[in-house]
Amino acid sequence: MKVLIIGGVAAGTKAAAKLKRMDRGMQVTLITKDQDISYAGCGLPYYVGGLIDTREELIVNTPAKFAGLTGVEVLTGREAIKLDSTAKTVTARNHATGEEEHYTYDACILATGASPIVPPLPGMDLEGVFKLRTPDDAIGLRDYVKSTQARRAVVVGGGFIGLEAAENLQAQGLTVTVVDLASQIMPNIFDPEMAEYVKRHLQSKGIRVLTGNPLEAILGSGRVDAVKTGMGTLSADVVVLSIGIKPNTAFLADSGIELFKGTVVVDEHLRTNLPDVYAAGDCALVKNRLTGAPQWSAMGSSANYEGRTLAQLLGGAEVRYPGALGTGVVKLPGLNAGRTGLTEAAAKAAGYDVETALCVVDDKAHYYPGAGSFIVKLLADRPTHKLLGIQVLGPGAVDKMVDIAVTGLSMGAKLEDFSNLDYAYAPPFSTAIHPFVQAAYILLNKLSGALESFTPAQYAAGEAKDYTVLDVGLQPSIQGAVRIDLASVNGPLEGLDKDAKLLLVCAKGKRGYFLQNRLKYFGYTNTRVLEGGTTFNQVRVAGVAASVTPEQITAVKALGFLFDKRTPDKFNGRVITRNGKITAEEQKVIAEAAERFGSGEVTMTTRLTLEIQGVPFENIEPMREFLAQHGLETGGTGSQVRPVVSCKGTTCQYGLIDTFDLSQEIHEKFYEGYHGIKLPHKFKIAVGGCPNNCVKPDLNDLGVVGQRVPQVELDKCRGCKVCQVEQVCPIHVAKVVDGKVVIDPNICNHCGRCVGKCPFHAVDQSTNGYRIYIGGRWGKKVAQGLALEKVFTSREEVLATIEKAILLFREQGITGERFADTVARLGFENVQEQLLQDDLLSRKEENLAAQKHLKGGATC
C-alpha cells in the first residue's frame, strides 16, 4: 500500500510513524513545505521567555532522524499545489528547483495544518512584527527583543498562545499590553466571568489587557514603534500577532473536496468526501464529542490522537475518532487555567437545560505548605445531572481537575457517578474528599435545592441589589455588611425578618452555605449564598464606601497607587512621565482620568510623576485601562528602579547636555527594562544638565551631571591684568598665577562658563562629558553622593555604568539597605573599581536570574 502524507509536525508525523510500525512493508512518503517536519509548536512561547534555551530543544525530529527511526521517506521543501482524486495524484512544487513534481497514492492523508492570520492592515510588514507558529518565529522574536533591547510589547490576541507570549515577554523584562477585538480574553473557551477574573489577575501582575479593542494599524518607519487601536495608540518596540489561525487548504479549492470555512470536513473515520483521501490535525473539521456538532480542534493533542487513529484505520483496525472536547490548559503568571467540555453559552445553544456552580475548593490539605485553591465552574444538565463541562483556575495542578472531567465526559458520567470514587489522597497532593468530588457535591446540592445561591454572573448583573449582605467570613471583610459569627447562630438573627432577602457571603462560599442551612432550619425563607465568595467576587454594599484590606493596599501599591489613610478606600495613583516631560494630549488624558476616576485633582511629585488624587479602590483597574489606551502607565513604587528625574537640560541657559533625551533612554532601559527585577531597596536616578544641581543628582542613589571640561592653551594666554576667564568663573577656581591662567582640575566643577571668554582664545577648547555620582540619599538619613574619578565622554559609557551600578546593588546589596549603605559598607574605592570595569556585566544573566531580594525594603 502506498500512502502519501501531505504535512508533518503533529498529525502527519504521528500517522507516518504509526503506519510503519504496523506494517514495515508499507510505502509511506511524507512531503512538507517546511524544512522542519516535527517540532514543539506549543513550546515556542517558552523559548521566547528563556525557559527553553536552544533551538535544538524545540526540534522533536529532524527529517533525517525521523526517516532513520521510522523508515518513512521524507521530502521537505515540497509544497502541494493540486490534488486529483480521480487520478490519485498530488502535484507539488519543489522550492529548491522551482519544478513541479507528481506523486501517486493509494491513500492520501491531508495534514497540512494551519497558518497564522495576518490581517490586511497597514504596517504588517514592519520590522519588529512577529507571528508565533514555527521555531524560526520564536527564534526571530527572542533575538529581536535582545538585539534591539525592546522594552514595550503589544500582543494582539488574547487566546492561549497570545497570553503565553505575553507572560514570556514579560519574563524578558518587557512591559506588555494585550489587545483583543472580543469583549473578553479567551472567547468561546472560558465563560465571561471566568475570563474577567483572569483579566483582573493579569493586570495585577503588570500585564495590561484591553478587550473590545480592534487593531487598526501598526505604525513606524521601517521598524514598529506604535500600535493604533480603536481605543488609541499604544507605544510598542515589538508586536506579536496572535489573532488566530487559518487552515492550509487553499490548494484544495478545485479538488472537489468538502470544505467548511477552509477546514476539511471528515467523518468519525477521518475520511473526506473524496475516495481514499483522509484529513487530520489543524486542517480537519471533526465533531464535538458531546453534541456531535462540527468542531474545529486545532490543538497539538488532538492532532496526535487523530494521526494515530488514522494510521490504525488504514492498517485495518476497527477504530474510530469519537470527536474532541475542546480540552485546553494554559500557564499564566501565578495562575493556571484549564477547561474541557461545553461553556455555559455553548451548552445552552446545544439545547441543554444548564445548571452551574462556581466554587472555591482547596487544592491540597489546607495545612500543607504551598496549599492553594481551585476556582471551579462545573456545568451539568439539570434534568439528567449529566456532566457537561468544567473550567478551573488556580496556582496549582488545574490539569488534574480537567483530566478527571475529560474521563467523565467521555463516558457520559452523571454528577452522582463521582460521589465515592477512590481518588488518591495524601496532604501534599489532594484533600481527603477530592476537590473535583467537592465541586460535584456542591452542584448536586444546588440541583436538589439544598444550596440556593447567586452565581458571580448573576451578582455582577445586579440580581442581588435588593439583598442585605451578611458577612460570614472568619474575619470581617465587607464594609457596611451585617457581621455574622457563624458559631454563635443558634436561633433567629436579631433584627432580621425571616422573609428578608439575605445574601450570605464568606471568603469561598462554604461558610455561607453552612449559615444558609442553619437559617433555613430557623424559618428563613429567602437566603442566597454568593458562589465564590470574596475570593472570586468584588463585593460592595450599596451606598457604603468599602474599606480596603492590607493585602489590597499592598497589591495596588506595586501598581503605583498609595493609600490615602484619611479615607476608607481611596488611593493616589502615580502616572509615569518618563522624564518629566509629557505632551499636551497626555496632559488632557491625565486630567480626564482625574475627573472620571478620581477627585479631579492632580499633583506633581518630587520624582516628576503626576499623581491623580482620590481614586476609589474599585476605580483603579478602570483608570489604569483608560490610561493604557493612551500609552500611559502607573507605577513608581517598590524596591525597584524608580522613575528618572531630570532638569531642563539644554533648554536651560546653563544646560550642557540633553537631559530629557538621556532621561528618556535611562527610563526605557532601566525603569521599563528592569521593571521586573527586585532590588534590595528603591533606586533613584537623577540627571542634571550642569553643576547647578537643580535636581540634586548627588542626593540620589545615582546622579548624572553634564560637564564641560575647559582646556587651557597656555601659549595663547597673555597674562592680562584683568583676566576675563578669572572674572567669569562662578566658583573662583580660575586664577592668574605667574602670568598665566590656571584652572585647578581637582576643584573645577566643569560648568563651562569660562569657555570662549578669553579674547585671545586661550580657553576656547573643552571636552563635553558626564560626571556620575553614586550613593546619595535624601530623607530621614541624608548621604551626599561621591563622584567617580572619571569624566565620561560618551552616553554609552554612562548607560553601561548605570547598569553596572544597578547590578552591583542587586548582587552585593543586602535586602532593606539603600545603595548609600551598600557603598559605605563595601567602601567607595571598591565600588568605583567595580563600576569602572566590566565584570558585573559579564555576570549579568546569572545575577538577574538569581532568586534575590524577593521581598525588598522600600516602604513607599
Chain segment 366-380, per-residue pLDDT in tens: 899 889 999 999 999
- The answer, yes or no, to whether residue 274 has pLDDT greater than 80, is yes
CA distances from 2 to 250, 271, 315 (A): 25, 17, 12
Are 431 and 464 in the same domain?
A: no
Higher pLDDT, 443 or 8: 443
Are 751 and 609 in the same domain?
A: no
CA distances from 388 to 94, 469, 836 (A): 48, 32, 65
Overall domain count for the chain: 7
- The answer, yes or no, to whether residue 469 has pLDDT greater than 90, is yes
User: Mean pLDDT for the chain?
Assistant: 93
Q: With cut-offs at 50, 70 and 90, classify the pLDDT of residue 205.
A: confident
Q: Which amino acid is at 811?
A: E
Rounded to whole angstroms, the Cα distance separating 690 from 670 reads: 22
Assess contact for 176 and 208: CB atoms under 8 A.
Answer: yes
Of 450, 482, 514, which residue sits at a domain end?
Answer: 450
**CATH label of the domain that carries residue 594:** 3.30.70.2500
What would the grid cell of residue 682 be? 528603591
- The answer, yes or no, to whether residue 771 has pLDDT greater than 80, is yes
What would the grid cell of residue 577 be? 512621565
CA distances from 248 to 15, 129, 448 (A): 18, 22, 49
Of 400, 418, 450, which residue sits at a domain end?
Answer: 450
**Percent of the chain surpassing pLDDT 70:** 99
- The answer, yes or no, to whether residue 190 has pLDDT greater than 80, is yes
Are 393 and 468 in the same domain?
A: no
**Residue 230 within any structural domain of the chain:** yes
- Exposure string of 163-179, with b = 16+ CB inside 10 Å and e = fewer, is bbbbbbbbbbbbbbbbb
**CATH label of the domain that carries residue 206:** 3.50.50.60
Q: What angle do CA 368, 370, 375 make, to 5 degrees?
A: 100
**Residue 596 within any structural domain of the chain:** yes
**Residue 59 within any structural domain of the chain:** yes
Instruction: Indicate if 720 belongs to the active site.
Output: no
Give the mean pLDDT of 684-713.
95
Q: DSSP for 186-253, please give it.
A: STTTS-HHHHHHHHHHHHHTT-EEEES--EEEEEEESEEEEEEETTEEEE-SEEEE-S-EEES-GGGT
**CATH label of the domain that carries residue 744:** 3.30.70.20
As a whole number of Å, the end-to-end CA separation of the chain is 74
Q: With cut-offs at 50, 70 and 90, classify the pLDDT of residue 538.
A: confident
**What local confidence, expressed as pLDDT, does residue 112 receive?**
95
**What local confidence, expressed as pLDDT, does residue 349 receive?**
95
**CATH label of the domain that carries residue 498:** 3.40.250.10
Q: With cut-offs at 50, 70 and 90, classify the pLDDT of residue 232.
A: confident
Q: Which of 347, 403, 337 is nearest to 375 (CA)?
A: 337
- Kindly report the backbone phi and psi dihedral angles of residue 803, in degrees, each rounded to the nearest multiple of 5, phi listed first: -65, -40
Q: Tell me which of 42, 652, 694, 720 is the catalytic residue.
A: 42
**What local confidence, expressed as pLDDT, does residue 609 receive?**
87
**What local confidence, expressed as pLDDT, does residue 483 receive?**
93
Are 782 and 681 in the same domain?
A: yes
- The answer, yes or no, to whether residue 125 has pLDDT greater than 90, is yes
**Percent of the chain surpassing pLDDT 90:** 79
Give the mean pLDDT of 113-120.
93
Q: Give SS3 for 129.
A: strand
Q: What's the whole-model pTM score? A: 0.76
**Residue 546 within any structural domain of the chain:** no
Are 103 and 20 in the same domain?
A: yes
Are 233 and 310 in the same domain?
A: no
Assess contact for 237 and 151: CB atoms under 8 A.
Answer: yes
Are 770 and 666 in the same domain?
A: yes
**What local confidence, expressed as pLDDT, does residue 286 receive?**
96
Q: Which residue has the cell 539644554?
A: 650
Q: With cut-offs at 50, 70 and 90, classify the pLDDT of residue 145.
A: very high
Are 218 and 310 in the same domain?
A: no
Q: Give SS3 for 550.
A: helix
What range defines the domain where residue 615 resides?
A: 552-628
Rounded to whole angstroms, the Cα distance separating 850 from 860 reads: 25
**What local confidence, expressed as pLDDT, does residue 668 receive?**
87
**Residue 322 within any structural domain of the chain:** no
**Residue 547 within any structural domain of the chain:** no
Q: With cut-offs at 50, 70 and 90, classify the pLDDT of residue 858.
A: confident
Rounded to whole angstroms, the Cα distance separating 329 from 160 reads: 8
**What local confidence, expressed as pLDDT, does residue 568 receive?**
84
Are 656 and 705 in the same domain?
A: yes
Q: Which residue has the cell 458577612?
A: 471
Rounded to whole angstroms, the Cα distance separating 695 from 646 reads: 7
**What local confidence, expressed as pLDDT, does residue 446 receive?**
97
**Residue 623 within any structural domain of the chain:** yes
Are 142 and 228 in the same domain?
A: yes
Rounded to whole angstroms, the Cα distance separating 124 from 147 reads: 20
Q: What angle do CA 540, 541, 547 make, to 5 degrees?
A: 65
Assess contact for 527 and 504: CB atoms under 8 A.
Answer: yes
**Residue 217 within any structural domain of the chain:** yes
What would the grid cell of residue 62 be? 529532524
Which burial class, exposed, middle or buried, applies to 535 when counting CB atoms under 10 A from its CB (0-12, 13-18, 19+)? Answer: middle
The number of beta carbons lying within 10 Å of the beta carbon of residue 336 is: 18
Of 609, 628, 647, which residue sits at a domain end?
Answer: 628
**What local confidence, expressed as pLDDT, does residue 859 receive?**
61
Are 430 and 344 in the same domain?
A: yes
Are 459 and 489 in the same domain?
A: yes
**CATH label of the domain that carries residue 444:** 3.30.390.30
**What local confidence, expressed as pLDDT, does residue 720 receive?**
95
